Structure 1
Amino acid sequence: MRAVAQHIYKKSYYSKAIEWGKLITLTGSAQLLVQITGFLSGILVIRLLPTHEYALYTLANTMLGTMTILADGGISAGVMAQGGKVWQNPQQLGIVINTGLELRRKFAIGSLAIAVPLLLYLLRHHQASWLMAALITASLIPAFLSALSGTLLETALKLRQDIAPLQKNHIQVNLGRLALIGLTMFAFPWAFVAVLAAGVPQIWANLKLRRLSARYADLGQEPDPATRKEILTFVSRILPGSIYYCLSGQLTLWLISSFGTTEAVAQVGAMSRLSLVLVVVRVLFSTLTFPRFARLQQNARLLFSRYVQLQLMVTLLSTMILSVVWLFPSEVLWILGKNYTNLQDEVFLQMTGSCLGLISTISYGLYTSRGWAINPFLSIPLNVLSLVAGAFLFDVASLHGILLFNIFVAFVQVLINTVFSILKISQANPT
């Protein structure tokens, strides 16, 4: 009998290993193609835009990220957490997704009201004409609107782990983006054209995502007040932190755009493009591990084991990436073009901060997928103290100093997210 049990266990172990191998191979190869096309798009923009135009493009992309985070406010994490409870019921899952979409549309109005004036000010501060500033701001709208629904429409596919069509959709949108940028940048090397070309393909992708999601979620359902209350309860706990993180996450660019030169803004933006390799890791985790972590039973031992395994994996991958950048900085910078070849020390610092940010993001994604949120009255003061301490320790007016400042702040966020995750896991049932 014991031999039979061991045989069943081994069979289950190997079948699970094979299943994970297939999922990682499928998602990893698809994401590799996605990131290659995205990387090529970014390099085309870096090489074809003049330095001043690329600085404006960097400011616009930074503001797009801020707008998207403000319009989300934790809604996507709330939808994932609520969806994880009803993922096998198409009607209930449809209610959760549509309720999230309704909330996001309302949050988008506030996000635009805050972000648009700030973007116009920054663009004008860096010598953009009123016409160019208006064109760049208007070009963000397609990408912003598509970002409102894209992540929520992916929820059903992620919870069901129907990865192939999701990855196919990502590949198609990135190929479309590369084609549009390739067709437009040679003739129209302007920042607003690059922003517009990057955003338009996502609109088509969202239409397809809605059809794919309909396999598992009844999107004809009306938003539900009780579900809205559950999501808003989660959002109320996570929104202050989201506002803080959307500001601190882009703090390097905010500071360098306020106290540094336009050339420094372009340099930070160009080096950040190298961090796209980390997006492959982030997407792999958000697609394969966050939904599965959300579905795990409330078992402290199991949750802790999975959490440690995942954090060790992302730390190892980050170490490997940093080793390559440290050993071959000239070769890495060659990709960006001749305007950025003198940034050998800076590129390593930039990637170190990005890797720490990745580790922190994975930890954050894991615990929010469980519906957990740090009390903002605790997390924000701790992070503000790290910002103040960093501002005293480092010269935030120089590129080298701002990158060291970024590493310091990211390290504090890793500590906060890791400690909180372990504390929450320890409160779960021990068996």
Structure 2
Amino acid sequence: MKVLVERLNNNSTFEKIIGWTKLAGAVGIFQLMIQAISFACGIFVIRLLPTQEYALYTLANTTLGAMTILADGGIAAGVMAQGGQVWQDREQFGKVLATGLNLRKKFAAISLVIFLPGLLYLLHYHGASWATAALISVSIVPAFFTALSGTLFSIVPRLAQHIVPLQKVELGASVGRLVLLGLSIFAFPVAFIALLAAGLPQFWSNFQLKNISKAFVDDKQKPDAEIRVQIFAMVKRLLPESIYYCISGQLTIWIISILGSTAAVAQVGALGRVSILFILISTITSSLVVPRFARLPNDANTLLKRFLQIQLGLTGAYILIVGACWLFSSQILLVLGDKYTGLSKELVLLLIGSTISSMAGNSFYLSNNRGWVINPAIPIIVSIVSICLGVYFLKVSSLEGVLIFNIFIAIPQLIVHFTYAVIRARSVK
């Protein structure tokens, strides 16, 4: 036995497995706490906001997500790809980060101008006064700007695999949201207060992330013209798809908000809270897996093997989540509140659609962070065709119909991005 233990201790593969297990365990524990707190925040909002206010809250959150996608436009992927090459050089890494932040400010201004007028109209269309619609629209601006900077600052500790301090900051921000919601939403159960309470703790989070990043980047560096060209080359390839996904990424909400009722908007938003379980897996993947995949050497066999292993592991995890939610759907809906009981079938349909979309997104982000950018015309054309067919053949004005539609349009995207990643991995020289 003693000899066996010594051999295991001297085995580099065994040491890597132990190291990965410890790191994944630490991240998993932090993420469980973070997502549990986020879920609690979501339940507070669902149960305490009236249906009308929660529908407005859902529309604002959906718009915030679309604004963030457009304001990024592929910048984060460019920073990750460029940073993955120079992450051990503080000066060069500082230039990459400074360049990314500079580009983000310009894209953010454009995104605000495009989306805020549309949000105002949708909110008024669903019963909000113009004054209320203006308050809700303004309330998402702090969360919008802080989320953009926070995403880029978090790339630094991810690439350096300085994960535990990053998780502590995210946990602190989650606790801050819970405290602010607890202090505000009981007294003022309105959408714009809930949105402000959710966004303000990100200011503290960004300050902490910037301090963590200083250990790995030189924050005195200025934007670099050459790096801007390299990042912008990725942006030009990714921006058309980003613009498209600003619209199609939350197509379920957009369609039900136009063709369905205000109650249906609230139901989709409430059921979507359960998909926080997928966020847990996605966060662990983006913290541990994606940066390591970005740092792998250009070896076709290694890249293909690792990509398939990642996708297989994620598929198993998603299947377990959907199965567990199907078995305990009545109990889950009871947590959401009496307004959402009886939606067991709709819950499972939403989770299946989230699974397929998450798998497609994983293929997409793994590719982008290696600098493999698909011609945007391919996924956009495929998606437009599937959307047209879905709208024609499915009853998208009902809640069940729009959730089936979501599954229908997600499958072609998974096929496209998975196939492209496999082809690029195999062609690496």
Aligned to 2:4: none
The 5-angstrom pairing of residues 191-270 of structure 1 reads: 191-270=191-270
Quick one: percent identity of the two aligned structures? 49
Task: After TM superposition, give the deviation of residue 8 of structure 1 in Å.
Answer: 9.0
Q: Structure 2 counterpart of 1:192, which letter?
A: F
2:308 equivalent to 1:308: yes
Q: Which aligned segments of 4 or more residues in structure 1 are displaced greater than 6 angstroms?
A: none
Aligned to 1:180: 180
- Contact map agreement 2:379 2:413 (CA 8 A) in 1: no
Task: After TM superposition, give the deviation of residue 243 of structure 1 in Å.
Answer: 1.2
- Contact map agreement 2:8 2:14 (CA 8 A) in 1: no
Task: After TM superposition, give the deviation of residue 156 of structure 1 in Å.
Answer: 1.2
Aligned to 2:3: none
Write the distance in 2 (CA, Å) between the matches of 1:296 and 1:98. 24
Aligned to 2:350: 350
Q: Structure 2 counterpart of 1:141, which letter?
A: V
The 5-angstrom pairing of residues 264-343 of structure 1 reads: 264-343=264-343
Aligned to 2:418: 418
CA shift digits 1:200-235 (9 cap, x unpaired): 000111011101000000111000000000000010
Q: TM-score of the superposition, structure 2-length normalised? A: 0.97
Task: After TM superposition, give the deviation of residue 391 of structure 1 in Å.
Answer: 1.1
Consecutive unaligned residues of structure 1, counting only runs of 5 or more, are: 1-6
Write the distance in 2 (CA, Å) between the matches of 1:291 and 1:326. 33
Write the distance in 1 (CA, Å) between the matches of 2:300 and 2:9. 22
Consecutive unaligned residues of structure 2, counting only runs of 5 or more, are: 1-6
Write the distance in 2 (CA, Å) between the matches of 1:316 and 1:65. 27
Aligned to 2:71: 71
Task: After TM superposition, give the deviation of residue 9 of structure 1 in Å.
Answer: 11
Q: Structure 1 counterpart of 2:14, which letter?
A: Y
CA shift digits 1:110-129 (9 cap, x unpaired): 10011100100100110100
Write the distance in 2 (CA, Å) between the matches of 1:8 and 1:18. 10
**SS of residue matched to 2:11:** helix
Aligned to 1:13: 13
- Contact map agreement 2:140 2:196 (CA 8 A) in 1: yes
Write the distance in 2 (CA, Å) between the matches of 1:204 and 1:170. 10
Write the distance in 2 (CA, Å) between the matches of 1:361 and 1:24. 21
2:164 equivalent to 1:164: yes
Write the distance in 2 (CA, Å) between the matches of 1:111 and 1:241. 15
Aligned to 1:398: 398
Task: After TM superposition, give the deviation of residue 308 of structure 1 in Å.
Answer: 0.6
Aligned to 2:388: 388
Write the distance in 2 (CA, Å) between the matches of 1:10 and 1:292. 23
Q: TM-score of the superposition, structure 1-length normalised? A: 0.97
Write the distance in 1 (CA, Å) between the matches of 2:255 and 2:275. 19
Task: After TM superposition, give the deviation of residue 246 of structure 1 in Å.
Answer: 2.1
Aligned to 1:4: none
Write the distance in 2 (CA, Å) between the matches of 1:386 and 1:23. 40
Write the distance in 1 (CA, Å) between the matches of 2:169 and 2:19. 22
Task: After TM superposition, give the deviation of residue 68 of structure 1 in Å.
Answer: 0.5
Write the distance in 2 (CA, Å) between the matches of 1:51 and 1:33. 28
Compared CA separation, residues 226 and 9, structure 1 to 2 (3 A): farther
Task: After TM superposition, give the deviation of residue 393 of structure 1 in Å.
Answer: 2.1
**SS of residue matched to 1:188:** coil
- Greater shift, 320-329 or 152-161, is seen at 320-329
Write the distance in 1 (CA, Å) between the matches of 2:56 and 2:288. 35
- Contact map agreement 2:9 2:15 (CA 8 A) in 1: no
Aligned to 1:379: 379
Aligned to 2:44: 44
Write the distance in 1 (CA, Å) between the matches of 2:169 and 2:384. 39
Task: After TM superposition, give the deviation of residue 326 of structure 1 in Å.
Answer: 1.7
**SS of residue matched to 1:215:** coil
- Superposed CA RMSD in Å reads 1.2
Q: Structure 1 counterpart of 2:73, which letter?
A: G
Write the distance in 1 (CA, Å) between the matches of 2:408 and 2:188. 39
Task: After TM superposition, give the deviation of residue 10 of structure 1 in Å.
Answer: 6.7
Task: After TM superposition, give the deviation of residue 397 of structure 1 in Å.
Answer: 0.7
CA shift digits 1:29-58 (9 cap, x unpaired): 000000000000000000000000000000
Aligned to 1:32: 32
Task: After TM superposition, give the deviation of residue 360 of structure 1 in Å.
Answer: 1.1
**Matched pairs, number:** 424
Write the distance in 1 (CA, Å) between the matches of 2:124 and 2:150. 31
Task: After TM superposition, give the deviation of residue 365 of structure 1 in Å.
Answer: 1.2
Task: After TM superposition, give the deviation of residue 169 of structure 1 in Å.
Answer: 0.1
**SS of residue matched to 1:93:** helix
